[in-house]
Amino acid sequence: MITVKNLHKSFGKIEVLRGIDYHVKKGEKIVIIGPSGSGKSTFLRCMNLLEEPTSGEIWFDGKLITDPKANINKVREHMGMVFQNFNLFNNLTIIDNITLAPTKLKLMEKEEARQNAENLLKRVNLLEKANAYPSQLSGGQRQRIAIVRSLAMNPKVMLFDEPTSALDPEMVGEVLDVMKELADDGMTMVVVTHEMGFAREVGSKVLFVDEGTIMEENTPKEFFENPSNPRLKEFLSKVL
């Protein structure tokens, strides 16, 4: 589904990603963990080119998307992204947040998009908030809406960039539940998170990223029970 080849990314003189190779298969749930500043978010943001790689290749669905001629807007229609800070459109109501992209990109008629949005809102139990504005919702509600907004595009992959890091502890659960449901539905997911419980329960693979490289990759069971990399051992001893 997504293939990353020898990905490098520098911000000025600082080299954040130092050669990452990875392949995400259809239906996999990849969980990326690592200390802050390790490059894990940058890695994720490179996948839909929100960060432009300095060098390396990214293939999505058989197409080379790092090709300068690739239509990146078209590619992003099929890759949902959920942000740490939700980033709901503050000037639009919830329903308009969800229907804006499908209608403006002419993927759906207004009525169809509305119906689709209402169905999605029902799934996360937020239909009664359809005409509210983002500022009227709690953090957990906003993040569920943000997930729904991405789903409205019928993406093939969902990227999550620390989706629960900006939430109050009691709201983390409701967002993780939606993500788990999504995982059970077979969605391909790449999740950067600090939620070790989620990684263990939902992940099909867990990656440890540090110093701009993938230091360890394993199934959740092996990853948490038999970590081999010394830096990962140290990291896990701090967070678990």
Footprint on this chain of another protein (rule: CB under 8 A): 48, 50, 52, 73-77, 79-81, 83, 85, 87-92, 100-101, 104-105, 133, 135-136, 146, 149-150, 153
Asked if residues 2 and 23 have their Cβ atoms less than 8 Å apart, the reply is: yes
Short-list 20, 26, 23, CA closest to 38: 20
Short-list 56, 37, 38, CA closest to 47: 56
Q: How far is the CB of 32 from another protein (least distance, A)?
A: 17
Sequence-separated (6 or more) residues with CB below 8 Å from residue 160:
44, 81, 82, 179, 189, 190, 191, 192, 193
Q: How far is the CB of 83 from another protein (least distance, A)?
A: 6
- Cα dihedral 180, 185, 187, 193 in deg (nearest 10): 0
Q: Which is nearer to another protein, 108 or 214 (CB)?
A: 108
Sequence-separated (6 or more) residues with CB below 8 Å from residue 79:
47, 48, 60, 155, 156, 157, 158, 159
The pairing of beta strand 63-64 with beta strand 213-218: unpaired
Q: How far is the CB of 138 from another protein (least distance, A)?
A: 13
Q: How far is the CB of 126 from another protein (least distance, A)?
A: 17
Q: How far is the CB of 162 from another protein (least distance, A)?
A: 13
Encoded tokens for 35: 């200390």
Q: Which is nearer to another protein, 159 or 171 (CB)?
A: 159
> What pairs with residue 207 in β-bridges?
32, 217
Q: Which is nearer to another protein, 102 or 227 (CB)?
A: 102
Q: Which is nearer to another protein, 87 or 213 (CB)?
A: 87
Angle between helices 139-151 and 169-184 (to 10 degrees): 20
Q: Which is nearer to another protein, 152 or 196 (CB)?
A: 152
Q: How far is the CB of 72 from another protein (least distance, A)?
A: 8
Q: How far is the CB of 25 from another protein (least distance, A)?
A: 22
Asked if residues 189 and 155 have their Cβ atoms less than 8 Å apart, the reply is: no
